[in-house]
Structure 1
């Protein structure tokens, strides 16, 4: 057998460079490149390999380890999981900085390959700089925390172990049901050790992602369940988009007259103005979708994992006889709500279930104008919120209305945390698939700017907008610099409401007077953060990094800034002060956050009693 002598790191890169995926006969190179921040734990191993023998892999220099993984996750999400970046760091803090983003990938079912450095396998320099020393188990290192957030984890302590580990990594990364973060921990010395690898290991390898049809008997059971239902509701999740089943969803809904509600991940699966699209569902849902959910006698979940936001903490579906049909490539998600599980691909599953229902002559029992009437009612409410003026300044919903009417239908909006996801889920009006990019599986603050950079890498010909609160921006904005370095323009729309106002609102809704969530000076008299707001010039900060920047405090100023931002060739930030508390509220929804049973505040005690009443009305499992 012909062999080639390479270091483990060189072999890893050569292997990754030869991986392809095939879906519906279309082949795509799977690993586009590597995002990395070098330290002593990887610079002379993977760093040397990337410098001297990268193949066709591109190195993108991250500025924060968490941020660069968020960018890689957003890239893969926008590419419908057909292409990824690997991410490499040193040992210790560099590695641990990736853990949050690894969890974000796994929760959202998005593939990302993590290559953190690790302690010396030889233990010759012991302890090496940044090494953890766990007296009870000396094999524990800073890469062990990745076990909890990875779909596959391995530590390669001999260079020949790479071969089996790399193949296992690809198995998980290309599995639509099991995908998520994959971590290969790479001891610092082993990266640089050589081995005679068989040349066959580096041949062009195609991983076939075959669409998995649901079992015929499962389709029959689901069709029989639905045959007697008059008020079904489709809940469209991210699986619709990842499976590229947008047309099948439309045809299925139209064939049987079934309204479609969208999760955060599923939004844009149908155009907002489609007659059967009743908008967002759940805690951040529209009035139309949530009213229909309360009376639905059947729920057809397509590619959704039924998060507590989607189900309003199991209170959204209130019909006493409601039953579920769950079409999902993941058996875990298909089994939820004790539903009739259709474990399989969304595209094939919708076709099969549609055929079975058509054979039975099925049609929903909604009144002729019922869905249209609810939709008109909600559209009018959204228009009102988009146009809402506030005497104290620009309201958050008014700002969103200006952005919606200005940026154009092909632009991609990216968001993740705070009050903006709720407003966007309810109000944003995408007319084309993949123009709404929301990370809400983990709702990870700091994803927004990094994610926008990742989307821009994936969609270089589109305008990409990061909608971010000042709290999330302060938490993580480092990849704005990377977007400038790489010449990938993003536009950051920074909503400045002086703090973590989403949680400030949540506090006050449950008996608090508001505590510790606004960006205020500490007052000497009270010892609390109750002084004036911190004055932060975010536009000046962005300019100092090399970005273009504008300040827009009125609707007219915002529209002008957006128009100018579209003309810019480099990343741009628009600082938008908005009045705190001018986000949308709930529409026929509830979220169980747990309220203190005992408190010196009567308001908190009353909020606890309200919570108990809601729990009694919700489903127990």
Structure 2
């Protein structure tokens, strides 16, 4: 288009200008361009129904010249819509995300948890919470928070600490630099997360003469920063000197689409590769150097090697508390770290040799620089032995043939065997992420989608919708605990309304297995973690178990096809039926609240009461003191 075509102005409301601008934004990496914001979620109220709501309607019925479609989906819960957008972004390796809008007050504030999840996980979401009147003539407007010390605050200020970018549009012309800044953050490979632009409801509907050039097609190039030569030299020196190196692959490997390079680097050097929750699948489980999950919820193979590693090479990982087992996992007193990360903040952790770079770029360089280097044969033999030993444990957990109620690990085993390599399993909270990280055998980078940075109960139901929108060709399977289900089931209605074919696997065990087990191990006797008849006000173990809540019937009432099964054989048959269906389906199965879970070879620091009248708590405190002895800063 010629420069003359961009001359002049066009009169639109702020909301209309927002939608027109967003419809023409694209991301690009490695020559592949795609719509950055391909659709909109929105729940409307008096804050946005006549602003962004009207703009989306106008886009659908009578789009402006040069304006692309902005498909709209009506969610049921504001937090849920942000989870769906975050899951979509994760499934597209952060190259795309959906916009989310909500009404003033409680509607917008409901998005804060989703914003925190996105920023914690470093995935982009774009939020437009509605705000009070900028003119302050209707004041206080319905649902407005009043602060007697200032008039320049609203509930939307709660987004500031959980957003990578926050702005408030008090005048129409402020929208131009704000949206440009928002796109920069959404496409930043390191400093991305929730982008929040608060929209006063009167400003949304206010007209302005916009420069036509503002709406031109823009391509935002997602950079792949190369590694500094000197930093690579320092890393190579440390790797060559190490006798027992270990790679910890995080989500950054998958987002950078660096799996091929990671597999080749491991094959060439023989260095074992452990994975975090976000990094599982970065290397295929049957690769000779893949040793599985590491840390508090890891397996024996990776954790035994981590215990004695003299060099840990973190690639695209932020070294969360679980990955380091609360700073007890890497027990070698002489252990050192090399961190390859696109963000300097994460690269600097553990006093590491820093390589601030895109994972694919850095690995490509290291493959060449270390082409003549390989670990000792004895170490390779040890890696193979650890892999074989953990494979036996995994198969035992997958095929317990436990009656009358199966362990949840048997359900995971069936899914692991039934699902295709490009299908996606989703989970986020409870004891399930721990079992999955330890046991799941991911064959591809797309197969494993576990949100464990924020581990937000309620993520799984809307996340399945988001992932399916991103990967319509895949079977998308969300494993949902009965506790998580009760937190946020509302998007089931959206899934049914939009006929989004996903499979939900509901594990019913009448309690909170994860926190129950944690409570018991810390001397609190599973208090408040089972569905018990309250009656006298107690929640002790001998209270009557409540089985009156029928989740299967509830799911059916949302419009899903529901299959109730008993045992693993029936579960396998039900999965094939759900797979063949073109409708959203839930498979409901009862599992044993008490597991058993995979054997643990690591630790997690959860403080225990230092004084107590309970024997269970006193014993747990003594164990906690002993378990904490290896804990240290990695300096």
TM-score by length of 1: 0.98
Instruction: Give the structure 2 partner of residue 4 of structure 1.
Output: 10
Instruction: Give the structure 1 partner of residue 506 of structure 2.
Output: 494
- Deviation for aligned residue 1:610: 2.4
Q: 2:570 aligns with which of 525, 542, 557?
A: 557
- Mapped to 1, the partners of 2:146 and 2:537 lie a distance apart of 45
Q: 2:230 aligns with which of 185, 198, 217?
A: 217
Quick check: 560-569 or 340-349, which moved more? 560-569
Instruction: Give the structure 1 partner of residue 63 of structure 2.
Output: none
- Mapped to 2, the partners of 1:225 and 1:93 lie a distance apart of 53
- Deviation for aligned residue 1:602: 2.7
* Cα pair 1:24 1:210 within 8 Å, conserved: no
- Mapped to 2, the partners of 1:537 and 1:396 lie a distance apart of 19
Quick check: 303-312 or 536-545, which moved more? 536-545
- Mapped to 2, the partners of 1:221 and 1:137 lie a distance apart of 53
Question: Are residues 1:117 and 2:130 paired?
Answer: yes
Q: 1:134 aligns with which of 143, 147, 150?
A: 147
Instruction: Give the structure 2 partner of residue 38 of structure 1.
Output: 44
Instruction: Give the structure 1 partner of residue 3 of structure 2.
Output: none
- For residues 474-522 of structure 1, give each alpha carbon's deviation from its aligned partner in whole angstroms, at most 9, with x where no partner exists: 1011112111111211111001111212101000011122211111211
Gaps of 5+ in 2: 1-6, 61-67
Instruction: Give the structure 2 partner of residue 295 of structure 1.
Output: 308
Instruction: Give the structure 2 partner of residue 584 of structure 1.
Output: 597
1:271-290 paired onto structure 2 within 5 Å: 271-290=284-303
- Mapped to 2, the partners of 1:135 and 1:244 lie a distance apart of 51
- Mapped to 2, the partners of 1:118 and 1:207 lie a distance apart of 29
Instruction: Give the structure 2 partner of residue 226 of structure 1.
Output: 239
1:105-184 paired onto structure 2 within 5 Å: 105-184=118-197
Gaps of 5+ in 1: none
Q: 2:447 aligns with which of 415, 419, 435?
A: 435
- For residues 572-614 of structure 1, give each alpha carbon's deviation from its aligned partner in whole angstroms, at most 9, with x where no partner exists: 0111100111142452200001111111123212322322233
- Mapped to 2, the partners of 1:527 and 1:429 lie a distance apart of 38
* Cα pair 1:407 1:562 within 8 Å, conserved: no
- Deviation for aligned residue 1:76: 0.6
Cα gap change, 1:525/1:474 in structure 2, threshold over 3 Å: closer, same or farther? Answer: closer
Q: 1:543 aligns with which of 549, 552, 556?
A: 556
Instruction: Give the structure 2 partner of residue 456 of structure 1.
Output: 468
- For residues 380-414 of structure 1, give each alpha carbon's deviation from its aligned partner in whole angstroms, at most 9, with x where no partner exists: 00000111133442221122222222233332100
Cα gap change, 1:186/1:608 in structure 2, threshold over 3 Å: closer, same or farther? Answer: same
- Mapped to 1, the partners of 2:104 and 2:211 lie a distance apart of 29
Count of residue pairs the alignment pairs up: 619
Cα gap change, 1:593/1:525 in structure 2, threshold over 3 Å: closer, same or farther? Answer: closer
Cα gap change, 1:586/1:182 in structure 2, threshold over 3 Å: closer, same or farther? Answer: farther
Instruction: Give the structure 1 partner of residue 385 of structure 2.
Output: 373
CA root-mean-square deviation: 1.4
Instruction: Give the structure 1 partner of residue 585 of structure 2.
Output: 572
- Deviation for aligned residue 1:353: 2.3
* Cα pair 2:245 2:310 within 8 Å, conserved: yes
- Deviation for aligned residue 1:377: 0.4
- Mapped to 1, the partners of 2:624 and 2:538 lie a distance apart of 31
TM-score by length of 2: 0.96
SS of 1:467's partner is: strand
- Mapped to 1, the partners of 2:528 and 2:562 lie a distance apart of 29
- For residues 448-494 of structure 1, give each alpha carbon's deviation from its aligned partner in whole angstroms, at most 9, with x where no partner exists: 01111110000111111000100001101111211111121111100
- For residues 302-322 of structure 1, give each alpha carbon's deviation from its aligned partner in whole angstroms, at most 9, with x where no partner exists: 000000111111111111111
Instruction: Give the structure 1 partner of residue 623 of structure 2.
Output: 610
- For residues 317-359 of structure 1, give each alpha carbon's deviation from its aligned partner in whole angstroms, at most 9, with x where no partner exists: 111111100000011100000000100100001112232223x
Instruction: Give the structure 1 partner of residue 78 of structure 2.
Output: 65
Instruction: Give the structure 1 partner of residue 65 of structure 2.
Output: none
- Deviation for aligned residue 1:254: 0.8
Instruction: Give the structure 2 partner of residue 364 of structure 1.
Output: 375
SS of 1:178's partner is: coil
- Mapped to 2, the partners of 1:584 and 1:443 lie a distance apart of 19
- Mapped to 2, the partners of 1:135 and 1:586 lie a distance apart of 56
* Cα pair 2:438 2:598 within 8 Å, conserved: no
Q: 2:339 aligns with which of 311, 319, 326?
A: 326
SS of 1:31's partner is: coil
- For residues 2-25 of structure 1, give each alpha carbon's deviation from its aligned partner in whole angstroms, at most 9, with x where no partner exists: 111111001111111111111012
* Cα pair 2:423 2:446 within 8 Å, conserved: no
Q: 1:267 aligns with which of 267, 280, 284?
A: 280
